[in-house]
Amino acid sequence: MPSRANVQASLIATRSRLRAGLRQVYGRPACAWRLAVWTAETVLVCALALLGRGADSLPQIVLLDARPSYASLNAEGFVRRGEPRIYLLTTTAPFAVARRASRPCGDVQALRKIASVVIHEEWHVRHPGDEAGAYTAQLGALVALGAGPGNSLWMEVWRARQAALRSTRAPIAAIGDR
């Protein structure tokens, strides 16, 4: 197509080609009218709903957007001895995935992980120092949430359990041993 004056040929369009292109662009909304990301609080409410638990049935939960220097590099949550609080790190992969979901409570696998971390940390508040029990509670929660043995999330937590218990040299009990 020849160019007209100083406008490139590719920028000149006939009325019918322009309409066809606009129908493609405007045929669906550019924005699906949702938040760009869900808040960490919304994600936590979804995880608690998945558990069938309300915030009043748990120790206080504090959401942190930065990892404190004293927290383990692999931690997704933690408790501090003597404090009846659960600290959850909102910078973790499950929080990021859940926050980017197309609808609230949309990524069930990420919410299962967050919910199971809440259960793990709740165990630590109620039974300080019992890592084996905390992982057993977390794995049990995953089973209850439909992510049992064979699910990649369950296997990830199982491997973390094995590594944590090896590092503390604690005896490794089977899940049913309690």
At 36, is the pLDDT very low, low, confident or very high (cuts 50, 70, 90)? confident
Residue 10: inside a domain: no
Average pLDDT over residues 143-158: 97
Rounded Cα distance, 124 and 80, in Å: 9
Which domain CATH number covers 87? Answer: 3.30.2010
19 inside domain: no
pLDDT tier at 35, thresholds 50, 70, 90 = low
In a domain? residue 150: yes
148 occurs within a structural domain: yes
Interstrand relation of 60-64 and 85-89 (parallel, antiparallel or unpaired): parallel
Tell me the residue ranges of DSSP E strands in 33-113.
Answer: 60-64, 77-78, 85-89
Q: Lowest-pLDDT range, 27-36, 55-64, 145-154? A: 27-36
Give domain status of residue 27, yes or no. no
Residue 119 lies in a domain: yes
Distance CA 140, CA 115 (A): 11
> In which domain, by residue range, is 128 found?
40-168
Question: Residue 137 burial (CB < 10 Å; 0-12/13-18/19+)?
Answer: buried
Neighbours of 95 (CB within 10 A): 25
Tell the residue number behind the tokens 């359990």, with chain if given. 161
CA pair distance 61, 43, nearest whole angstrom: 13
Between residues 4 and 146, which one has the greater pLDDT? 146
> Is 27's pLDDT higher than 80?
no
32's CB contacts (< 8 A; 6+ apart) are: 102
Q: Is 139 helix (H, G, I), strand (E, B) or coil?
A: helix
What is the average per-residue pLDDT within 36-53?
Answer: 94
Percent of the chain with pLDDT over 90: 67
Total number of domains in the chain: 1
User: Is residue 28 one of the residues assigned to a domain?
Assistant: no
61-100: pLDDT as tens digits: 999 999 999 998 999 999 999 999 999 999 999 999 999 9
Higher pLDDT, 157 or 25: 157
Q: Are 178 and 160 in contact (CB under 8 A)?
A: no
Per-residue pLDDT at 130 exceeds 60: yes
In a domain, 80, yes or no: yes
- Average pLDDT score over residue span 142-164: 96
